[in-house]
Amino acid sequence: MIARKDRALARPARGEGGWMNGRNGEGGNGPEDLEDEFEEFDDEDLQAVLRLIAERAGQVIMAHYAEGAAIEVRAKDDASPVTAADEAAEACILQALETLTPEIPVVAEEAMAAGTQPDISGGLFWLVDPLDGTKEFLARNGEFTVNIALIQDGEPVAGVVHAPAMAMTWAGAGTGSATYSEADRPPQGIETRQAPEDGLVVVASRRHGTTKELDRFLADYHVAEQMEAGSSLKFCLIASGKADLYPRFGRTMEWDTAAGHAVLLAAGGSVTRADDGSPLRYAKPGFENPHFIARGRP
């Protein structure tokens, strides 16, 4: 059970929030096994609701994805792209989290870009990237995700990564709780694998892959295969036992990594700083990550 303050994670009765019953409160979309009323989430409930929220946001994204070349792209102050899909998905998630946990602040990528930064001094907050991999979204390769994570005292204690174009979802809320689900199939448990004797599978960013720093780092490892993936899928490949190592020597923000980090922790993996080997933490000034190494089991 994740430790929680007061009743901040009390679940509303079905129907109290429009996000639970469809965009306008019509047509139930919640998992049938969730009770109509409850006092507190357990970890399984938390994963189920996070999957529901992320998948709803994914539906919003896919409605824009269908527009193809008609999608309007703007540049943010940091020169990264943003689309109406990013903003609509974020609005969907924010509405859901406000209904679900009105006492917990939300740090969301597009709101932050617009200058809205909530007070997170209480140590418990949500981190949201509504469309991780906007460049992949625009390239139409399917490798973009919805990322939602719960941070407690600097640690990602729960998270969901949903890839709407692939109909795949990964979630986790504590050690041993990581799951993977596809389309309408029930979630299945996943875990990291032992490092293979015949060499590691290394996954790198599709947009920020091979660098001299990465090559120097990998020189100390027996690498059998190197692959590329977009967005938070890199964490999920390790969590699912399909890859072993993800070194990142490029710029990332906390909302880029927190959800995948939570899933990987739940699957038995780790994410550490590249400079000193300490666990990657959250709520850093400016929300920018140092270089890091994500790993499966040794």
- Give pLDDT, residue 271: 98
What are the φ/ψ torsions at residue 287 (nearest 5 degrees)? 60, 25
Position 148 pLDDT exceeds 50: yes
Mean pLDDT value across the chain = 86
Fold category of 18-189 in CATH: Fructose-1,6-Bisphosphatase; Chain A, domain 1 (3.30.540)
Pick 90 or 231 by higher pLDDT. 90
- Report the top-level CATH class of 200-295: alpha beta
> Reading across the β-sheet that carries 168-172, which strands appear in turn?
106-108, 124-132, 145-152, 155-163, 168-172, 179-182, 188-189
28 versus 66: the higher-pLDDT residue is 66
The confidence score (pLDDT) of residue 71 equals 84
Lowest-pLDDT range of 88-97, 135-144, 183-192, 207-216: 207-216
Summary count for the chain: helices (H), strands (E): 7, 14
273-295 confidence digits (pLDDT tens): 999 999 999 999 999 999 999 99
Write out the residue limits of the CATH 3.30.540.10 domain(s) in the chain.
18-189
Q: What is the band of 7 on the pLDDT scale with cuts at 50, 70, 90?
A: very low
Contact 190, 180 (CB under 8 A): yes
**Residue whose entry in the numeric block shows the structure tokens 């739940």:** 266
pLDDT of residue 125: 97
Q: How confident is the model at residue 43 (pLDDT cuts 50, 70, 90)?
A: confident
Taking the C-alpha atoms of residue 296 and residue 298, their distance in angstroms, rounded to an integer, is 6
Q: Return the percent helix, strand and coil in the chain, to nearest 5.
A: 30, 25, 45
pLDDT of 35 over the 70 cut = no
* From-to residues of CATH 3.40.190.80 in the chain: 200-295
